[in-house]
Structure 1
Amino acid sequence: MHHPARGDAAGPIVEACRPLSARIVTDPAPGGVRSPLRTAKVAWAAIAEGATHHLVLQDDARLCDGFARHVRDAIAHRPDNGIALYTDWASPQNSYLTRLAAVAGSPWAPLSPMEWTPALAFLLPTATARELAGYLAPIPDEVTDDDQMIARFCRERRVPLLAAVPHLVDNRGMPTLITGHGGRHHATVWAAPPAPAAAHWNIGAEIDEALAARSRYRSHDEYVVQVKDSRCSIRLLRPHTGEPGGNEFCWYWQDWCDLIGVSDREVAAGLAGHLDGWSGHRPPARPAVEIWAAGYLLGLDAAAVRRDLPAPLPPATPTAIRAAVASWVDSGLTAAGCTASNAADRAALIDLGVAAVVRGLRRRAPEPLITAGVIGGTRGEDIHDGSRHH
């Protein structure tokens, strides 16, 4: 998908795809109101005869080395799924689900059924891609958001969605062409060299089921952890409430971590104990608390996923854990006075986050403390801790 305002941005992508034959689909009305959906309609309909799968890339994508081989290897092990080759490092749900898969040791991250589909690099079996093209065709271009419409299609058709971990595509960080879509955008877990071997993708679907259970919108114990504006927060997904998938209404971790089975005292004590033995450049204090909390909660969650598997899974690689934490540090520490102000601070915070993840993985799996209750005189499955009111 290409817009002429980006000049020759699509050319390097075509080259990086070889020996796959990539075709450039240009916005059919580049002078009109900017609409990714308008170009997506053409791109999803441009399926080559005889193809088994159809991949759509946007023109601000950056492809990993050996891209074509890695894509083929991945498809071979999940041929019936919709596969995202990228998730945005700060997306409300999918970034956390990707980090969770990476830390749990899985090459596949089941995505949220409610959040927008990562459309920067998305692949479907050809039969499903044709259905999607027909689905998008009558939607007015003024809707603009192709990622929201693709998500709606996949939800209605029950298309299983996975992200490849690590991601085979990153965002090049080019200026956005759409109002309201600014900020920095990069991959959650990037496939830095050396990229994974073919055997990396060969893992049973049991892990897909275990991870997918974390975001099915069926139970009140479903949650995600985020680091944004230099705060670690917990978002309970609250199924059946009608809240949109991109909603970022969260609670500060220290107030609400008891709802996911761990006390704030345990988290804080772990950080204090770890820093007591710290050597080398010390991480800045304020962001250290937030990155430690996020890493520890992520490790606990991954431990619970691994505990429920019918057969043992090889542990996550240090590279995968470090990539998941690094993108949290780079995307989440943005508030004044609470950032990684230099390379030494950044490296120390990443080291701290990795240590927190490992500590969480080694701790016993948490038992959620979420209960049904009565609030305001109306019976319902509301969430409370019996003491705090927010």
Structure 2
Amino acid sequence: MAFTLVSSAVMTHPRRLEQAERIAAELGLDAVVVDPAPDDAPSALRTAIAAWASVRPGASHHLVVQDDLAGPAGLTELVRRSAARHPDEALAFYTHWNSRNGAAVRLAALAGASWVRAVPEEFTPTLAVSLPTATADEFGRHAVASADRHDDEVLSQVLRRTGRMSLLAVPNLVQHVGTASLTGHDVSQGLRRAACLVDAPEVAGWLESGPVLDAVDGLPYLRLGHAHLRVDALAAEPQRRGHSLWWEALPHLGIEPDRVLQLVDERRPVALGAEVSRLFGAAFATELWIHCLLVGLQAPRLARPAEGGFDALGRRLRAAAVATIGIAGLPPESRATVTAGQVSLLTRYAWSAIRLGPLLRARTGTATGQ
């Protein structure tokens, strides 16, 4: 195995220097990199360029984290071991719970995978990312010529050129904390929590040896309260940001939308559905249940569980993934007010559909997959 040495930095703004220094101390990071032009218009990219250029001499990989995360004390060792397994890959250790990449991580957790390939047309979640140093250099060369101010978008541009988007850790290792944003994400996105967060000693070995989902054709995700489905046939152009509603895309998986609506009518739990509808609206309740049916359809198709089924860690991953589906799908302004009891309700409601998802495949006889 090739020699793996990971250098690291936290990127920050002078207004958040104290918390960045605390994060660096807690996680054992090498450097704190401050926005080189803090009085100019806010730009995550400007600071990211400096952070990705702060590679320690001799390092094979570089980890950059942002100043609004919480992570385990052993994060750098987890990153080193992950980079040793995937030496040529960009590795992301967080995914936004209401993104297509977050949906991919949840689906991978349900399928029994430890890594999943990111969606090509979406931003790369840069809260905590490790790159081979050659890729970090390429990012710097591309970024200095960019007029963008979002490092996550620019990193995706770089990775699209290679034809290999980042691998996303399942589970996520770090959590986004707080809601403040120097670039306005607090207004447009609200709470930005991890899609599937588990902190357990077994995670290190799982990331080192667990199965990898290198592609997902038929990714269910929620967007603006509506169930969507990403299929390769409708996303042929990697830079296109098109979105397909579930009923438009489902026939590409060999299933007719009417079968989904039949299950909604016949099998959705009446009491659970009524309570979710009362709290969050009837339209959202229906779209969430349809989304979870599609998750339940696709997870077995992509299944990678060890012989004998899911062990204790696998069950924790599945539980953590499903617990974020409902709350993440709500409007950004609503997420902060959701109670623990309501999260539990949404989780039970999600499971009620996920468990029925295989009926779509079993009763149509047309679906194909792994």
Q: With structure 1 as the length reference, what TM-score do the two structures score? A: 0.76
Moved more, 28-37 or 286-295: 286-295
Tell me what 2:7 maps to.
none
> What does 1:82-231 align with in structure 2 at a 5 Å threshold?
82-91=90-99, 93-137=100-144, 139-140=145-146, 142-179=147-184, 182=187, 183-184=189-190, 185-191=192-198, 193-194=199-200, 196-203=202-209, 207-208=211-212, 211-214=213-216, 222-231=217-226
Partner secondary structure for residue 269 of structure 2: helix
Distance of 1:106 and 1:223 partners within structure 2 = 16
C-alpha spacing 1:55/1:367, structure 2 compared with 1 (3 Å) = farther
1:227·1:332 contact (CA, 8 Å) conserved in 2? yes
Distance of 2:85 and 2:156 partners within structure 1 = 22
Output one character per residue of 1:55-89: Cα deviation in whole Å (capped at 9) or x when no partner: 01111122135323332333332222110011111
Distance of 2:164 and 2:249 partners within structure 1 = 33
Tell me what 1:385 maps to.
none
> Could you tell me how far 1:170 is from its partner in structure 2?
1.6
Tell me what 2:39 maps to.
31
Distance of 2:25 and 2:274 partners within structure 1 = 44
2:230·2:249 contact (CA, 8 Å) conserved in 1? no
Residue type matched to 1:345 in 2?
A: Q
Output one character per residue of 1:100-132: Cα deviation in whole Å (capped at 9) or x when no partner: 211111010111222111111110122322232
Tell me what 1:360 maps to.
357
Output one character per residue of 1:310-332: Cα deviation in whole Å (capped at 9) or x when no partner: 99695482322222222221121
C-alpha spacing 1:240/1:270, structure 2 compared with 1 (3 Å) = closer
Tell me what 1:381 maps to.
none
Tell me what 2:326 maps to.
329
Residue type matched to 1:10 in 2?
A: A
Percent of matched pairs sharing the same residue: 29
Higher helix proportion (structure 1 or 2): 2
> Could you tell me how far 1:173 is from its partner in structure 2?
2.8
> Could you tell me how far 1:98 is from its partner in structure 2?
1.3
Q: Report whether the alignment pairs 1:17 with 2:27.
A: yes
Instruction: Report the aligned-residue RMSD.
Output: 3.4
How many residues are aligned here? Answer: 345
Distance of 2:81 and 2:250 partners within structure 1 = 39
1:98·1:109 contact (CA, 8 Å) conserved in 2? yes
Residue type matched to 2:88 in 1?
A: D
> What does 1:225-264 align with in structure 2 at a 5 Å threshold?
225-236=220-231, 238-240=234-236, 244-245=240-241, 247=242, 249-251=243-245, 253=246, 257-260=250-253, 261=255, 263-264=257-258
> Could you tell me how far 1:291 is from its partner in structure 2?
2.8
1:291·1:349 contact (CA, 8 Å) conserved in 2? no
Consecutive unaligned residues in structure 1, runs of 5 or more? 215-221, 370-390
1:55·1:123 contact (CA, 8 Å) conserved in 2? yes
> Could you tell me how far 1:241 is from its partner in structure 2?
5.3
> Could you tell me how far 1:296 is from its partner in structure 2?
1.7
Tell me what 2:13 maps to.
3
1:56·1:122 contact (CA, 8 Å) conserved in 2? yes
> Could you tell me how far 1:10 is from its partner in structure 2?
0.4
2:120·2:238 contact (CA, 8 Å) conserved in 1? no
Residue type matched to 1:86 in 2?
A: Y
Consecutive unaligned residues in structure 2, runs of 5 or more? 1-10
2:90·2:166 contact (CA, 8 Å) conserved in 1? yes
